[in-house]
Amino acid sequence: MYYGFDIGGSKIALGVYDEARRLQWQTRVPTPHDSYDNFLEALCALVDDADRRFGKAGSVGIGIPGIPETDAGLLYAANLPAASGRAVRRDLSARLGRDVRIDNDANCFALSEAWDEAFRAYPVVMGLILGTGVGGGIIVDGAPVTGRNFITGEFGHIRLPVDALAILGRDIPLIRCGCGQHGCIENYLSGRGFAWLWQHFYHESLEAPEIIARWQRNDAQAKAHVERYTDLLAVCVASLLTVLDPHLIVLGGGLSAFTHLTAALTAKLPAHLLPVAKVPRIEQARHGDAGGMRGAAFLHLTRSRS
């Protein structure tokens, strides 16, 4: 059995999956913030419960929002104060007597999708999250590419490419990002970026769902706004494709529910790729909020290259 934990600031969600990657049981508890021991004990209690239910010791994978493990073996996650700065993987592995694997929640999202039955034939899968921020992950042969610092897939912190300035205007404000830089694409392609662009061009404050609703009613300004946004999305994604050349892109996050993006991105990408490049398959994520714990559970899966 495969146990997958999706740990956030408010809840710890556990999903248990069988050998066929089917969900067999799930539960959640509040995330302890008062002490590290209580944090570890909450995880151990859930694992013990699952072991008793299924009569065996399952593998344990964890997805967290942050840096899973530094060179010193420490986890860093701002919304997990009881565990941040602690050797979570080492300590939990010792308590449970089994190998615990930890990865970033965006990598777990991408991994969950890469192991979907309809997608698992693709060797290189790129998960792209268009939500509160912009992020994602790269999966090669069924395993996440974490990189030197666990920041592979932090697509949102790439700067606007020169083609983006042609679309938005060379006088577009280069917004200061939470990372400390200016002009990161996260501030323009995220859900809040989608709304910021509307405010910038039309001097009206609307949230993304309101703009999309207007687009669905054939509002001329909303049509122009979505056209501009999808042009911007295409030039930014094209740069990623030239580096990564994935076989499949899976879109997640709140904006991915706007199904027009999938078709528009597929249609607009060829103009920005190398002449020999073929546009990868582009799909919406299949597993929604369950992706975090699914992907965490599948950190223990391996795929043959044959």
Q: What is the pLDDT along the chain (306 residues), one digit of tens a residue?
A: 999 999 999 999 999 999 999 999 999 999 999 999 999 999 999 999 999 999 999 999 999 998 999 999 999 998 999 999 999 999 999 999 999 999 999 999 999 999 999 999 999 999 999 999 999 999 999 999 998 888 899 999 999 999 999 999 999 999 999 999 999 999 999 999 999 999 999 999 999 999 999 999 999 999 999 999 999 999 999 999 999 999 999 999 999 999 999 999 999 999 999 999 999 999 999 998 889 999 999 999 987 643
- Strands laid side by side in the 59-64 sheet: 23-30, 11-17, 2-7, 59-64, 100-104
Element (H, E) at 5: strand 2-7
- In the chain, the amino acid numbered 85 is G
Predicted confidence at residue 73, as pLDDT, reads 92
C-beta neighbour count of 73 within 10 angstroms: 12
| Positions at the binding site | 4-11, 133-140, 157, 177, 179, 184
Work out the burial of residue 128: count CB atoms within 10 Å of its CB; fewer than 13 is exposed, 13-18 middle, 19 or more buried: buried
Structure tokens at 63: 């997805």
Cα maximum dimension of the chain: 63
Known binding residues for Zn(2+) are: 157, 177, 179, 184
Neighbouring-strand partners of residue 281: 248
Residue 288: per-residue pLDDT: 86
Q: Report the pLDDT value the prediction gives residue 12, as an integer from 0 to 100.
A: 97
So what's the pLDDT on residue 303? 78
Residue 182 one-letter amino acid: H
Residues of the binding site for ATP: 4-11, 133-140
Q: What pTM was estimated for this model as a whole?
A: 0.93
Q: Which residue's structure tokens are 């061009």?
A: 201
